[in-house]
Amino acid sequence: MAEFYENVWVESTALTPCEKGEGQEAVLRLMDSTVQAAVNALGQNRSVGEVVITTQTGDRLFADLVPQLVERLKAAGVDCLGDSVFERSYSNSQPAFGRAASRVESGEVERTLFVGIEPLDAWPKDIRADAIRRDILEGERAEFPSMLAALDTLMSHYAKVFNLSRDQVKAIIRKLSIHCQEQRVKN
């Protein structure tokens, strides 16, 4: 499988101080750690065709500061040759995966930096498995041709975000695949 993602998942509790009114300072600290994580992940080759940014929160503060995050990445030496894409809601990150993967596979983009800003403390543990199911099923419904190609990346992401082993995530995905196939047969 082609390696078309450089993944930086920023696990942050910055949402809480934002809600308490600390606002911009907390987000700027988050951006600093995001930029450092991105630079570390990219290594010496900091040229990318696209930057895809997703966040779980719909907080307007994050939306307003995303262009600043892109500028900070560029200032740190990340050479973004194309566009940056911002998905405001976490539930939209699955389509972002599909679209970015399609552009890479078509040759339109050679390398993508995918940055996920997720205030993980906001996730109750008992809904995390349901969130995995929801995202995978949304991907199935959308029928992105590149979803399977991104599966290994998704498994690593879900294992980290939901504190599960890769085998546990794989088992959930396997059950979902069977379920989706059964639903397609019924329909």
| Residue pLDDT, tens place only, 74-118 | 888 887 765 555 544 444 455 565 666 666 667 776 677 766 655
* pTM, 2 dp: 0.48
Higher-confidence position of 132 and 174: 174
Q: Average model confidence (pLDDT) for the chain?
A: 56
Listing DSSP states for 113-151 in one string gives EEEEEE-GGGS-GGGHHHHHHHHHHHHHHHT-TTTTTTH
pLDDT of 178 reads 45
Q: Is the pLDDT of residue 181 over 50?
A: no
Helix (H, G, I), strand (E, B) or coil at 59: coil
Q: Is the pLDDT of residue 5 over 70?
A: no
